[in-house]
Structures are given as C-alpha cells and as structure tokens.
C-alpha cells in the first residue's frame, strides 16, 4: 500500500472549522439551547402535515428546479422566477455566490465580526478575505468597507442585521455605500434575520436589488420560518447572478421535504409572523432587563442579543450553562444569546444578573 496521501489544495490548510452552537447537555439540569439563533417554536401542524405527506416518497429525487417553491417565492416577493435561486440553506447559496465570483488572487470583503461562515467559504474558494472591523458601536463601517475595495474585489457581504451583534445599517448609508461600489463587484445583502426587523429605516434588500444589477439578497427559511433542520434558503438577484447560482448548485440539493415545507410556510406566513412578533416582544423585554442590570447592549434587530465581555466571555458562558442555558461565546470578544422560550430567557436574565453582581 502506498504511503502517500492524496494531494489536497493548499488553501484548505488553517481553515477555521464552522463551530455550531452547542446543544444543551443531555441529562443535565433543565437546559435550553440559545446558541444557534434557532426558532424555539415547534413546526406548525400544517407544515408538519405537508412534510409527512411528502415523506412517503423520499425514495425519489426531489424536483431539481424547485418549481413550486420558485413560483411561490416569485409571487410572494413580486420578482421574476428567473431572478430567484434556491439552495441548501442560505449558507449554501452564499458559498455558491463566492464560487461564482471569486478564486485565487481575488478578494472578498466583509465586516468583522460577522457571520462565521464568511471566512470559511472564502478560504475554500482560494480567495482572500478582507475583514473590515465593526465600528465601536458594533455596526458595519460602510465607509471603511467602500474604501477597502480594490481592483481585486469580487464580492462584498453586508450582513443586515449583523450576526452576532444584531446591529443594522439603514437606508441612506446603505444607498451611499452601494453608489460607491463599482458595478462589477457583487454586493450580497445577507438578510437571514430580515423578518425580525422593526426599525423602519432599515431597507428591504428586495426593494434595493431591483434597480441595482450588482446587488443580490440572501434569505432563509431557517430563522423566522422555523425550518433550520430542513436546509433551504434562497437568493434574489438579477439574471446573470441567478443563472450563475444554478450552475454552481449541487444537483438536487434542496430536498422535497424542504421544498414542500417552505411552500407550506409561505402559505402560513400570518401565523408564523405572529410568532416572530412574540419573539420581537421578548427581545425588547430581554434588552430592557439587561440594560436595567447595567449591561451595555447594542440595539438589536435580530432574534439574538450581543454582550461584549472581552476576557470574561468564556466565564460568562460557563455561568449561563450552569444555570441551564447554552449561549454562544466568541472567546475574548463576547457572547451571542438567542431569544428563546420565555422560561429560557428568564434563566438567562437571572444568570446575567448574578454574573454582573460578582464583577
């Protein structure tokens, strides 16, 4: 047998592995997972029924073109079907967008800290990450991002609201930024948490993309729609971009279960958005209590809150876990905590208060 290993691409060396939010420990005290920005509500009965009905035929491949879902999305958002592309979660679509635009020698710009998949999918493609620090208020620094554009820039992510800080960029600053970016650079507005936004000054990317051929919007069914485990997301962009996404797609990447659940969810949107409203209410409560406790909490428009804890981050996460909630630490920086069930939020708030008193 040969001693030689297969030759792997050098770009893969040192790639950070994606760290999923940890689940609650089995057999521990009451434990809630507030570490992955999931929707705490169980599937709606109608959505469940559609999935169960489809489950009887999973010996067959899914509809590769996602016809039913694409038509439903086109109607819902008032865009042509040819402007939509679906994929295995919006992270899958984000990876396809990089594959379609950037390779070795090219640059991908994003704010930092932001969604932790950006550096990974950039490095896998062989392109170079250009990270632009958030402002001291934990917001995208769009002026600095525009200034970071070079003739090697191929794609820019704007995560709005930003994961993990929950902060947003508003209409005027976003338009000014887009006016500065050259037309041959793709700007991806990652709106995974769009449905949780209540600030009227935050623009809907799907309105922005319409007269800007270099803008593409990413959306997901994983958060507000509660389908994280089924893996389906989509992009809305002009035809060349959507066509490139079809070329880079893994064939049959979106299961029929996911397609049918997504259609059923769009049809049950009123009910689902009622749940989102309840989570937004909980978000306001959590932020208010934290501020009363003395914490500095950036204004969040997502289903999570961010606490900058620097070198106390890991201790804080451990204290939360001991109390019964698993949060998402970014060692040396801060903790992201998903808004979950009321009881989970209460446990988190008690843990935060106890920690603060010991500071």
Ligand X SMILES: Cc1ncc(COP(=O)(O)O)c(C=O)c1O
CB 56 to ligand X: min, Å: 26
Question: Which of the residues 191 through 250 are near ligand X (CB under 6 A)?
Answer: 192, 220, 222, 228, 233
User: Closer to ligand X at the Cβ: 142 or 323?
Assistant: 142
Q: How many CB atoms lie within 10 A of CB 68?
A: 14
Select the span of 87-95, 205-213, 242-250, 259-267 touching ligand X (CB under 6 A). 87-95
Question: Which of the residues 262 through 321 are near ligand X (CB under 6 A)?
Answer: none
Burial of residue 138 (CB within 10 Å: 0-12, 13-18, 19+) is buried
CB 124 to ligand X: min, Å: 15
Contact flag: residue 190 with ligand X (CB under 6 A): yes
Binds ligand X (CB under 6 A): choice among 79, 98, 130, 159: 159
CB 258 to ligand X: min, Å: 11
Binds ligand X (CB under 6 A): choice among 37, 86, 301, 313: 37
Token code pair at residue 262? 């997504």
CB 329 within 8 A of CB 321: no
Contact flag: residue 43 with ligand X (CB under 6 A): no
Contact flag: residue 86 with ligand X (CB under 6 A): no
- Kindly give, in sequence order, each residue whose CB lies less than 8 Å from that of residue 124, ignoring residues fewer than 6 positions away: 11, 12, 15, 95, 98
Binds ligand X (CB under 6 A): choice among 35, 39, 86, 90: 90
> Distance (Å, rounded) from C-alpha 345 to C-alpha 165?
18
Binds ligand X (CB under 6 A): choice among 32, 115, 177, 355: 115
Select the span of 54-62, 64-72, 85-93, 333-341 touching ligand X (CB under 6 A). 85-93
- Kindly give, in sequence order, each residue whose CB lies less than 8 Å from that of residue 301, ignoring residues fewer than 6 positions away: 161, 166, 167, 168, 193, 196, 197, 198, 199, 202
DSSP character at residue 163: T
CB 234 to ligand X: min, Å: 9
Token code pair at residue 330? 């970014």
CB 169 within 8 A of CB 189: no
The size of the interface with ligand X (CB under 6 A), counted in residues, is 13
Of all residues in the shown chain, the one whose CB is closest to ligand X is: 89
> Distance (Å, rounded) from C-alpha 249 to C-alpha 64?
10
Q: Which residues bind ligand X (CB under 6 A)?
A: 37, 89-91, 115, 159, 163, 190, 192, 220, 222, 228, 233
């Amino acid at each position: 047998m040969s001693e030689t290993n297969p030759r792997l691409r050098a770009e893969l060396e040192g790639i950070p592995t994606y760290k999923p939010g940890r689940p609650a420990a089995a057999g521990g005290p009451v434990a809630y997972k507030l570490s992955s920005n999931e929707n705490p509500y169980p599937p709606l009965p109608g959505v469940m029924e559609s999935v169960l009905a489809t489950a009887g035929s999973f010996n067959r491949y899914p509809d590769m073109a996602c016809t039913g879902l694409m038509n439903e999305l086109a109607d819902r958002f008032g865009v042509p079907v040819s402007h939509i592309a679906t994929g295995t979660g919006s992270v899958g679509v984000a990876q396809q967008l990089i594959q379609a635009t950037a390779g070795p020698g090219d640059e991908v710009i994003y704010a930092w800290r932001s969604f932790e998949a950006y550096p990974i999918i950039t490095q896998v493609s062989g392109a170079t990450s250009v990270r632009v620090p958030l402002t001291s208020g934990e917001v995208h620094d769009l002026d600095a991002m525009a200034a970071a554009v070079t003739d090697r820039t191929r794609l820019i992510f704007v995560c709005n609201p930003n994961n993990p800080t929950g902060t947003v960029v508003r209409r005027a600053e976003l338009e000014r930024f887009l006016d500065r970016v050259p037309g041959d650079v793709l700007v991806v507005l990652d709106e995974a948490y769009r449905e949780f936004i209540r600030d009227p000054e935050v623009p809907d990317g799907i309105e922005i993309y319409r007269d800007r051929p270099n803008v593409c919007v990413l959306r997901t069914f994983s958060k507000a729609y509660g389908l994280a485990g089924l893996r389906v997301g989509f992009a809305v962009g002009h035809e060349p971009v959507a066509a490139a996404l079809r070329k880079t797609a893994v064939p049959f990447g979106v299961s029929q279960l996911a397609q049918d659940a997504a259609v059923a969810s769009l049809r049950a949107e009123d009910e689902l958005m009622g749940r989102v409203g309840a989570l937004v209410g909980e978000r306001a409560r959590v932020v208010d209590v934290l501020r009363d406790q003395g914490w500095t909490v950036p204004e969040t428009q997502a289903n999570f809150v961010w606490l900058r804890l620097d070198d106390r981050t890991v201790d804080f996460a451990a204290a939360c876990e001991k109390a019964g909630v698993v949060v998402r630490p970014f060692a040396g920086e801060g903790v992201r905590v998903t808004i979950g069930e009321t009881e989970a939020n209460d446990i988190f708030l008690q843990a935060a208060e106890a920690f603060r008193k010991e500071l």
